[in-house]
Amino acid sequence: MYARSTTINAAPASVDAGIAQVRDEVMPRLMDMDGCIGLSMLVDRGSGRCIATSAWQSEEKMRASDEELRPIRERIAETMGGDSPSVQEWEIAVLHRDHRSVAGACVRATWVKIDPATMERAIDVYKLASLPRLEDLAGFCSASLLVDRASGGAVSSVTYDSQEAMDSNREAAASMRASTTKDAGAEVLDVREFELAIAHLRVPELT
């Protein structure tokens, strides 16, 4: 399974218009494309940072869709008052779901850098060490790990049932992150928290 993430630094006042456009116009078109299996959208209303992620059955089908989707991405950025979107393609290395998200769900995303030569070990650490500890955090819903094996980039996204749950587990999550990223030989680049505005990423269990 593969994923393409599109990041737009939007004008905060235009975030809702962008969500509506992605939900009502972009998602139906995406779901008609060969190989597309889902879409999610994360938004940070304070900063305006928004990330839409589409999931694909194969790398070939994901890349075959790029030319058709490029002008659509530009229109969304225009609607949201943002710069040209930043696009990254990933392999979905891990997806674990305790239960499906509900309205009000939030996501904590952590971007890391890993030596490409040790990527498999880092993925194993995520599966065997991170996931069991994440499941114990208040409000845990699901977790995913997206990786770029060539560059060593990776991002973990953990969904929680509510903002309150994510607030309550922030300290415990930070402690766990420090421990497991060290074990994985990963350098933490950024940690951000988002509202899960669209949850239609129908990726099956990958652990």
Characterize the bridge pairing of strands 140-148 and 86-97.
antiparallel
The rounded mean pLDDT for the chain is 93
**Beta carbons of 110 and 156 less than 8 angstroms apart:** yes
Cα dihedral sign for 35, 41, 42, 48?
positive
Is the pTM higher than 0.95? The answer reads no
The whole-number pLDDT of residue 137 equals 95
The whole-number pLDDT of residue 193 equals 98
Every domain of the chain and the residues it spans:
2-89, 91-194
76-99: per-residue pLDDT in tens?
Answer: 888 888 777 899 999 999 999 999
Would you tell me which CATH number, out of the four given (1.10.580.10, 3.30.70.100, 2.30.30.230, 3.40.50.1370), belongs to the domain 2-89? 3.30.70.100
The whole-number pLDDT of residue 203 equals 79
- Equal fold, 2-89 vs 91-194: yes
| Backbone φ, ψ for residue 36 (5° rounding) | -80, 130
**Beta carbons of 160 and 140 less than 8 angstroms apart:** yes
Fold of 91-194: Alpha-Beta Plaits (3.30.70)
Query: What is the gyration radius of the CA atoms in the chain, in angstroms?
Result: 16
On the 0-12 / 13-18 / 19+ scale of CB atoms within 10 A, 24 is: exposed
